[in-house]
Every structure is written in structure tokens, then in C-alpha cells.
Amino acid sequence: MYIIGENIQILSPRIKAAIAEHDATYIRQLARAQVEHGASMLDVNIGPRKKDGTEVMPWLIEEIYDEVGPVPLSLDTTNAAAIEAGLKKCRELGIEAMINSTSADPDRLNVTMPMAAEYGCKIIALAMDKNIPATADGRVALAMEVIIPKAEELGIPMDRIYLDPLVLTVNGCQEHGPETLNAIRSFKMLWDPPPMTTVGLSNISNSVPHEMRSLINRTYLVMLMAAGLDSAIADPLDEAQNEVIRIIEQRDDRTGVGRAYLALYDAVANMEEFTPDHVDMSDPDQVAIYKTVRILENKVIYAHGYLTS
């Protein structure tokens, strides 16, 4: 699993303050920590940053480069000029860059997709236009009719396009969970060679109490991996999540929890139902996995107390 570290992001008050005060100490710490915890790429999310994005983005890239060297970077802003300034800086420093992001909305597609062609970089394409389609089919249609044709027209190879079907929180947008999963499956089946896929994983547990987020994130990640997910913007510092990725990739069935996650992976990959028979229901950890799958499949309504009811 190709993990794009999500921790340098403007919604964090400490990151916001670091940028405002032009003090990169904390950002450099986070960059190092994420790389040490196995992140393959780092997301650099500066928000819209309309005024000074063209200065902030190259500055952050330099600071991060100075700390961790030429680790690939995902340039995450809606400010196209800031992205382009970042792409230039990455080229200058020999850093592999990714644009985060474009979408099927022509206002974004016609600006950022040509940049990906010009700079020969990777690009995340959100399967939405002005709105997020309610179904997997709606997302797939935008990829088929708008995003991929545009990439082909510009000669961008499929392995540089990262389709993102959009993950929304299980607490309020629960019906999207299976749709996002099915969209990943379709993205990987519809083209040969297939495009790459990614998601903003932690969104699945937005507005969920902190102590429950990791379980939901890592369980959904297993399901997404089984559907064909290539990469995720996620928290590389989440050790439990890293362990689950290892279990799946090495097919480590030595523990009960490991066997449960592998059974989940196989069930989703084979499009079979994940049932209580797949887990040891006398093990509370496996029961928690089972209950989490049920809410992620939108079969049981999410509530903060779903694990105890």
C-alpha cells in the first residue's frame, strides 16, 4: 500500500500557526516522523491559500526537502498557481510531485490536468463535478466520460492518474461507504491498463469520537485494498493501521485478528458476504471488526455506541 502521509494539513491548528509564523520546525518534525513510519509520499495541504500560496508552497517544499530529502510530495491546494509554483520547485530539487487534485468539474479539470501533462507528474482526480454523485455508477460515469478522456487527450499515461471516488464519513453519509468501495472496484476493471486509485481514508471517520477512528479507518482500508485500492492519503503514524497493512500484504494469519482481517479481505475481493462465521465471535477484538464492517457496509446504522450495542 502506497501511503501518502496526511499530517501536514492546514486544518491542524499547529500547522496553521507554523505557516502563519513562517516557522517550519513542527512541519519538519512531522515530515520526518511520517517518513520514518513508512510514508511513501507526503501530502502538503495548504488549503485554498489564495493570497500567498505561490510563496507558501515552494517554501514548505524546500523545508521538507531540507529535512527528509527528495521524498515524493503531493501538492494539495485548490490554488492552481500555488500548485504550479510547487511543481517548479519540485522539478528544481528533483522531487517527484503529485497534483492534489483535479476533478470532473471543467473549471478544475481544464487547469490542473494540463499541468500534469506539462510537468509529467502524477495527479489525483476526484470522481465528482460540482457535486459528489450519490452512487458508484455516478462516480464511474464521471471518470469514464470526463476525466479519463481528458487524460488520454493530453497523453497522460494511466499509471499517473489516481482516481479518487471520495470517502465520506460513516457518521452521516453512511450510504456512501459501499458506493465508494464499488467505485474502486469498477475503476480497476474498466480500463486496461487500469488507472491508479487513491482515497482520503481518514474521512471515513470524520466526526467520530477520536478513540474509535483508527478501528474504522483500518477496517475500511482492508475492504478498499480488497477492492483494488493502490494508495491512500492516511495517517502513517497510526501503528495499528500499519500493522493491518502488513498483515494483509504478508498474509500473516498467525493471530485471530489477522485471520479476521484476511477473511474480510478475501470476502470483499471475492464479492462474498462477510459473516460471523468468518470471525471468532468469542474474541472481542474480532467482534469489533465484524461490527465495524456492518456499519461500513451500511447494513447497520452508525451510532457512537455501535460497538457496545
Partner 1 sequence: MPGTVEIPKEKWTGAIRQVTLGATADQGGSRARTVTVGGETTLPFLFFEGAIPNPPVIALEVQDSYPADWSPVLLQAWGDALRDPATWARKAEELGADLIMLRLRGVNSNGQLTTTAQATATVRAVLQATGLPVIVRGPGQAERDNELLVAVAEAAAGERLALGLCEDKNYRTIVAAALAHGHLVIASSPIDVNLAKQLNILISDMRMPLDRVLMDPTTGALGYGLEYTYSVMERLRIAALTGDSMTQQPMICFVGEESWRQKESRAASGVPAQWGDLEKRSVTWEIVTATTLLESGADIVVLRHPKTVGVIRNTIRKLMAQ
Binding site for partner 1 (CB under 8 A): 171-172, 174, 299-306, 308-309
Q: How far is the CB of 172 from partner 1 (least distance, A)?
A: 6
Do 204 and 234 meet the contact criterion of CB atoms below 8 Å apart?
Answer: no
CA dist list (Å): 59 to 22, 139, 152? 9, 35, 33
CB of 302 to partner 1, least distance (A): 5
Q: Distance of CA 91 to CAs 33, 59, 119, 251, Å?
A: 24, 14, 8, 38
Calpha distance 119→160 (Å, rounded): 12
Output the smallest distance, CB 209 to partner 1, in A: 11
Q: Which three cell numbers stand for residue 238?
A: 497510526
Would you list the DSSP string of 110-176?
Answer: HHHHHHHHHHT-EEEEES-SSS--SSHHHHHHHIIIIIHHHHHHTT--GGGEEEE-----TTT-TTH
Q: How far is the CB of 173 from partner 1 (least distance, A)?
A: 10
| Of residues 90 and 295, the one with the C-beta less far from partner 1 | 295
A 10 A CB-CB count for 207 gives 11
Least separation in angstroms between residue 278's CB and partner 1 is 18
Closest approach of partner 1 to the CB of residue 170, in Å: 9
Nearest alpha-carbon partner for 187 in 136, 132, 114: 136
Q: Which is closer to partner 1, CB of 131 or CB of 309?
A: 309
- Relative orientation angle of helices 256-269 and 210-227, to the nearest 10 degrees: 50
Query: Euclidean distance between the first and final Cα of the chain, in Å?
Result: 33
Distance of alpha carbon 132 from alpha carbon 168, whole angstroms: 10
What letter represents residue 29's amino acid?
Q
Q: Among residues 151 and 288, whose Cβ is nearest to partner 1?
A: 288
Instruction: Return the C-alpha cell found at 219.
Output: 477496517
- Name the residue among 251, 245, 250 with its Cα closest to residue 229: 245
User: Which is closer to partner 1, CB of 83 or CB of 173?
Assistant: 173
Nearer of residues 130 and 299 to partner 1, judged by Cβ: 299
d(C-alpha 151, C-alpha 77), whole Å: 20
* Closer residue to partner 1, CB minimum distance, 160 or 291: 291
Q: Which is nearer to partner 1, 149 or 209 (CB)?
A: 209
Least CB distance to partner 1 at residue 292 (A): 15
Nearer to partner 1, 241 or 292 (CB): 292
Question: How near is the Cβ of 305 to partner 1 at its closest, in Å?
Answer: 4
